[in-house]
Structure formats: structure tokens, C-alpha cells
Amino acid sequence: MKPSVNMLKQAVSSAVKAQVPVIDASPSYIPNANFAKLPQKLQDFFQRFPPQPFVNYSAKKGFKDAPNANPFLPNKSRVTNKTHKPLYSLRRQSDLYKLAHKHGVHELLPPMEKTFFETRHEQAKPLIGEMVWKKHIREKTKESRKEKIAKALETMDEKIAEAKGKKHWERLERREREKKQWV
């Protein structure tokens, strides 16, 4: 039995009534007005891939036809079980991210493997030489040499006296007696 034209019209009209009405980008409606202010590249991206609150994109690689498939990550095909390249290359991802960051909507983008700006420096491992410098051997042993020199200076007079004999002690005593006193 073929459906009649009236039945098809009723089905279409009920489907149209059930749909959510599309709101135009007039200035009276704030979110769409803000959306209209975004550059065309971002508008196209968000029309193809709705922002984070509407769709939760996976942060891991998944299947290409999954509803939460991330366009920035390589995804597998269920049919061939082969991994496909991401829909957006790293260069295009960075262009999108920088543009979104400039307009303050970078949190709405799907998760990426690539890092940018402050997060890049926060997550980076410091170089070996930046944390603790290797130093020259003279710098490494400086403190211990200072201690040795201080101990040697304390016992210097006794060592000199042993080497030179009684004369040295006499000279030291005479220096103390003849020491000039400034009034």
C-alpha cells in the first residue's frame, strides 16, 4: 500500500513542529550575536563540530563514526580497522586554537594532543642544566677548600714555629710589644 500525499504532508508537518526552532543571529539574541562576531573559520568549525557543552568529544583515539569522535585525533574505521588521519592537521589545529584563543573561545574546542602558550611551558620538563648547573670543579670544591684554609690559618703560627724554631716565637712576641697604638 502506497502512502497518500496527505499522510506524507502530515508526517512532515509534525516533524517540523517537533524540531527545535533555529534562532537567527540577530543582535537581540546574545549567544548567536556573539557567534556571528567570530571569524568565518571558527564559525565554520563550530557548525561542523558543535562546541564542548553540546558534544563531549573523546580525549582518546576512537572510532571514526562514533558520535563523540574527536576531529583532532586519528580515529579507526570500524569496517577496515585502519587508522585514519585526523580531520584537521596539526598546523590547522594550531591556527584554529590561536584564533579561538584570540577570541576567548579556546575552551570550547575539542581536546588536543598539542599544547599552546602557558600550558606548553607549565608542562615542559626543564633541561638538565637549568635545574642544577654542573659547575666547574673549582666551584664544586670551593666550600671545602675554604674550611681547610680556615683550619690551616688557625694553626699557622705553630707550623711556622716548628719549621723556623725559637726565633719565630721571639719575633711574634716583639711584634705584639711594639705594636703601634693610635691615640
Domain layout of the chain by residue ranges: 23-124, 137-177
- Condensed to tens digits (0 to 9), the pLDDT of residues 108-164 reads 999 988 888 777 777 777 777 667 777 899 999 999 999 999 999 999 878 888 888
- Condensed to tens digits (0 to 9), the pLDDT of residues 60-83 reads 999 989 989 999 999 999 999 999
pTM exceeds cut of 0.85: no
pLDDT for 124: 75
One-letter identity of residue 32: N
pLDDT for 14: 53
